[in-house]
Amino acid sequence: MLRAAAPYLAYGIISLTGWTTRLKVVGGKHREELKKRGKGWIYAFWHQRQVLLTYTHRGDGAHILVSRSKDGEIIAKVMALSGINAVRGSSSRGAAAATRELLELATEGRVIGFTPDGPKGPARQVKNGVLYLAKESGLPILPLASASSRKLEFARSWDRFQIPLPFAKGALVYAPPIYVGPNDDVAAKSAELKATLDRITDEADRLVQ
């Protein structure tokens, strides 16, 4: 019963947090410019900072990769309540099928979401999945970071996972899109994406101090 109720409880807590957070958005023009193109893009954000985005991007229609674990099942339900689609798969279970599904969605011009260091880390290290998807689909990667002045941080988790708390200052920071061309060096693009995500995550943290 607790597991069945957990998604609804989480959805309620995230809703309260979103309603009471004083949010500052930086670089929102990058997202708006991509919307005007009438095509999709790939959100990229560190696994540690995903909870606030579940509120700020409600109804976005994005398709986010979620693991097939029991915890992933809860996350997928919370996302469904939030108008966000889950594509189930991880490095250990369903990876090939999930990659094919994401690529099909990307080539259709849908919005995709990726935690480049998820689901198990190492923290803040870009894995190749998001770069492969961008290269094969031609969609730009839109780096995104969030921060909250009040949060729980799980020190024993691999990425010190954060859960924002209500009545806080919040920040969303978008960076200019990153394109991965067919002849681009994947290692160089990986380093560029990591540096960009680290930079805007630090900027989001400064904005809520």
Q: What single letter denotes the amino acid at residue 66?
A: V
Per-residue pLDDT of the chain (209 residues; tens, 9 = 90+): 677 788 899 999 999 999 999 999 999 999 999 999 888 999 999 999 999 999 999 988 899 988 777 777 888 899 999 999 988 776 555 567 777 888 899 888 899 998 999 888 899 999 988 999 999 999 999 999 999 999 999 999 999 999 999 999 999 999 999 999 999 999 999 999 999 999 999 999 999 99
* Choices 3.40.50.360, 3.40.120.10, 3.30.465.10, 3.40.1130.10: CATH for 2-207: 3.40.1130.10
> Residues 6 or more apart from 124 whose CB is under 8 A from it?
46, 117, 159, 194, 197, 198
Q: Which two tokens stand for residue 198?
A: 């680290």
Q: Coil, helix or strand for 145?
A: strand
pTM: 0.92
- The number of residues making up the chain comes to 209
Helix axes 186-207 and 129-137, enclosed angle (nearest 10):
110
φ, ψ of residue 171 to 5 degrees: the values are: -145, 140
Helix axes 95-107 and 129-137, enclosed angle (nearest 10):
30
